[in-house]
Amino acid sequence: MKVRIELSYKTPKGTEATFTSDELRAAHAILIAEDLVKTGRVKQLTFIDSHENSWTMKELKKFMEGIQTEPHNVKVYFDGGFDLKDKNSGLGCVIYYEKNNKAYRLRRNALVQELNTNNEAEYAALHLGLQELDLLGVHHLPVTFVGDSKVVINQLNGEWPCYEAELSIWIDRIEAKFEKLGITPDYEIISRKLNREADHLASQALSGTNITSTMELS
């Protein structure tokens, strides 16, 4: 979860000003806000989330304490590959998250046969990531989805129109899953090189190697 800090500041001589910070991870925002409050010059301080909801310090701390035992700070890397000759698709997703003050990485791939294009495979890989989030119990949280498919990400974020009926079906399916899980998606486009983990998982699926693993990160 990310928030920005909005505060009113008053100097010893009575000069007042209002400041708004950049978006910060909530835990970092709390630390900075607490340090500012120690000056004794903050008249009013509020946290604003990405939905423009206001939080007091007490409310945000309580929320952060509550999610520590659940997966949070979630980022999903996804990639899909399509074998034109065999009409097989390899799906790969890598999920990074935190829970109980520890960091984890989940890796999952799958081989599917009912798809017809590489773009469909990319959508299916993102949907595979959503299924894993559901199993993890990720609900009512912002999640960042990272991939190298400009088609998928730009269509999902509304930047590009979608004219293909089969892709529109995937968009509807994914958006329905977002709504069901209460997930607010954020998207990030990266190069295929930087998406090599998910890409490798998709390739392994196409070669018949199934991967399902979760590990704690140091």
pLDDT digits 0-9 by tens, 35-94: 999 999 998 999 999 878 899 999 999 888 877 788 999 999 999 999 989 999 999 999
Q: Rounded mean pLDDT of 18-24? A: 93
Q: Is 44:7 a contact under the CB 8 Å cutoff?
A: yes
Q: Residue 153: what pLDDT?
A: 98
Identify which has the larger pLDDT, 64 or 125.
125
Q: What angle do CA 60, 66, 67 make, to 5 degrees?
A: 95
Q: How many CB atoms lie within 10 A of CB 167?
A: 18
Q: Is 110:205 a contact under the CB 8 Å cutoff?
A: yes
Mean pLDDT (the chain, rounded): 94
* pLDDT of residue 205 exceeding 90: yes
User: Shortest CA distance to 41 belongs to which of 79, 10, 65?
Assistant: 10
Q: Rounded mean pLDDT of 109-113? A: 97
Q: Rounded mean pLDDT of 157-177? A: 97
* pLDDT of residue 199 exceeding 90: yes
Q: Secondary structure of 71-108 in the HEC alphabet? A: CEEEEEEEEEEEECCCCEEEEEEEEEEEECCEEEEEEE
Q: Residue 38: what pLDDT?
A: 92
Q: Rounded mean pLDDT of 139-146? A: 93
Lowest mean pLDDT among 21-25, 63-67, 93-97, 177-181: 63-67
Rg (CA), the chain: 21
* pLDDT of residue 6 exceeding 90: yes
Which domains are delineated in the chain?
Answer: 2-67 (no CATH), 72-217 (3.30.420.10)
- Within 30-189, strands assigned E span 42-49, 54-55, 72-83, 88-99, 102-112, 142-147, 184-189
Confidence at 185, pLDDT banded by 50, 70, 90: very high
3-state DSSP assignment of residue 117? coil
Which residues, 6 or more positions from 48, have their beta carbon under 8 angstroms from its beta carbon? 3, 4, 6, 54, 55
